[in-house]
Amino acid sequence: MKNNEGKRNRFIEILEIIYAIIFACAIAKMLDMFPEPKDFFSITLKIWSCIFISVFVLIRFFFAPSKNVKILVDRIEKHRRLIMFFDVPALLAHSFIFYLMCLSVKNEEIFYRWFFYLLFGNAIWLGSIWLRLYKDPEISYIKKWSINNIVFFGAFTITFYVFGVYSWVLWFFLAFFNSTIDIYITYKDYLSAD
């Protein structure tokens, strides 16, 4: 039994490392777009908004392997293969979408589209975790994250695709409030020692 627990912990650690490397590469690539120190002074407010949201997302999503996959590994006995064939690829897809988002930092429309697609994918993934563990009272944070992301993805979809509103300021505030709400209502869950 202890051997299995050790394997599970090692699996989560490896997943965390891979995930963190992709996130770190994304931030490095984003910053590499401004190689000269003088470039930082010429960055427009639009680009600063994208950089700011990227850092916010990094903070929010950094705990995904240790919180979301770990809870599945620890609490699901049946259908464990689903974790390898669905949850791990979903987690890695998050990191690659974040990578693409960071590469798009100079084009706010593409950047914010990637951000809101990331929210949608995250909401679907978290919703699937919540459905599998709905009887567990300790996972209420997953439901909150999922609902928050769906609401803001919906707001983006309505403003951009339905009404055709093209406003990086609006997208920034949607992304900012989504991230702020996420961190505010669940910071204790981020920092809990699971």
pTM (2 d.p.): 0.88
Q: Could you tell me the sign of the dihedral formed by the alpha carbons of 78, 81, 84, 87, in that order?
A: negative
For residue 49, give every residue at least 6 positions away whose Cβ sits within 8 Å of its Cβ, in sequence order, or none. 108, 168, 169, 172
Distances (CA, A) of 183 to 57, 89, 109, 189: 10, 24, 24, 9
pLDDT in tens, the chain (194 residues): 566 777 777 888 888 889 989 999 999 999 888 777 666 667 788 888 999 999 999 888 887 777 788 888 888 777 778 888 899 899 999 999 999 999 999 999 999 999 999 999 999 999 999 988 888 877 888 888 899 999 999 999 999 888 888 899 999 999 999 999 988 887 776 666 55
For residue 102, give every residue at least 6 positions away whose Cβ sits within 8 Å of its Cβ, in sequence order, or none. 26, 27, 29, 30, 54
CA–CA distance, 35 with 40 (Å, rounded to integer): 9
